């Protein structure tokens, strides 16, 4: 196996396209989406933007958008899509995202995907690929159980996976029809998955 240090932009210069790279990551809970998005971001030297992280940061820094989000969190309600999109718009407008970005955790459904297209159009941006990590449910259940979270029983995990499939299958079709989807086998060693992702975005 190759160490992560070998998976750099320079080492894949033969196959990774030069210029701005903008990617969206999809994957079920336990698929390794956050890990692989982080690896790819390091390799391509672009920010890994997690919607959960930018929401938490906005609340922590008490920004105007963070204050709005905090009200929903305090009330135990979901933060509305419009507010999440405002946070994404703000984050993608920052200087470190000019050369590209990896978006992780959004969109989760077709409606959100359509709204995201509008936001990106307003910024004069578009994404290159949607990368979907495919991992069998049995492997996902095993991975999530090993995390040892108190609320992670096999029953709750399978229910979460069912909800994910129900929400995401139309989204995957949405991107496939637009020839933007690259599905990657995520049931392998992390370095092998990273290598396949880098090859996919160069195609």
- Sorted by where each begins, the domain ranges of the chain are 18-201
* pLDDT tens digits along 139-161: 999 999 998 777 789 999 999 99
Q: What is the mean pLDDT of the chain?
A: 89
Q: What is the pLDDT of residue 18?
A: 59
- Nearest 5°: the CA angle 116, 114, 73 is 55
Q: What is the pTM of this model?
A: 0.85
SS (H, E, C) 75-116: CCCCCCHHHHHHHHHHHHCCHHHCCEEEEECCCCCHHHHHHH
Question: What's the pLDDT score for residue 191?
Answer: 95
Predicted local confidence at residue 11, as pLDDT: 42
CATH class as words, domain 18-201: alpha beta
What is the residue whose two structure tokens read 């984050």? 91
Q: What is the pLDDT of residue 203?
A: 77
Buried b or exposed e, range 14-53, using 16+ CB within 10 angstroms: eebeeeebbbbbbbbbbbbbbebbbbbbbbbebbbbbbee
- pLDDT at site 13: 42
- The pLDDT of residue 152: 82
Residues of the chain with pLDDT under 70: 1-18
Confidence at residue 147, expressed as pLDDT on a 0 to 100 scale: 87
């Amino acid at each position: 196996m190759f160490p992560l240090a070998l998976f750099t932009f320079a080492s894949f210069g033969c196959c990774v396209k030069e210029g701005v790279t903008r990617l969206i990551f999809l994957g079920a809970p336990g698929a390794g989406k956050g890990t692989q998005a982080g690896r790819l971001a390091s390799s391509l030297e672009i920010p890994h933007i997690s919607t959960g992280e930018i929401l938490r940061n906005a609340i922590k820094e008490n920004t105007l958008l963070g204050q709005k989000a905090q009200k929903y969190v305090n009330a135990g309600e979901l933060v509305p899509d419009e507010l999440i999109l405002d946070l994404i718009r703000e984050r993608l407008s920052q200087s470190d995202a000019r050369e590209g970005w990896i978006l992780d955790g959004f969109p989760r459904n077709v409606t959100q995907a359509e709204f995201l297209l509008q936001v990106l159009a307003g910024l004069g941006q578009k994404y290159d690929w949607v990368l979907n990590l495919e991992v069998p449910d049995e492997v996902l259940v095993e991975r999530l159980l090993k995390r040892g979270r108190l609320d992670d029983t096999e029953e709750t995990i399978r229910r979460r996976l069912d909800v994910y499939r129900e929400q995401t299958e139309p989204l995957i079709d949405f991107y496939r029809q637009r020839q933007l989807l690259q599905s990657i086998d995520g049931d392998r060693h992390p370095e092998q998955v990273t290598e396949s992702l880098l090859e996919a975005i160069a195609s």
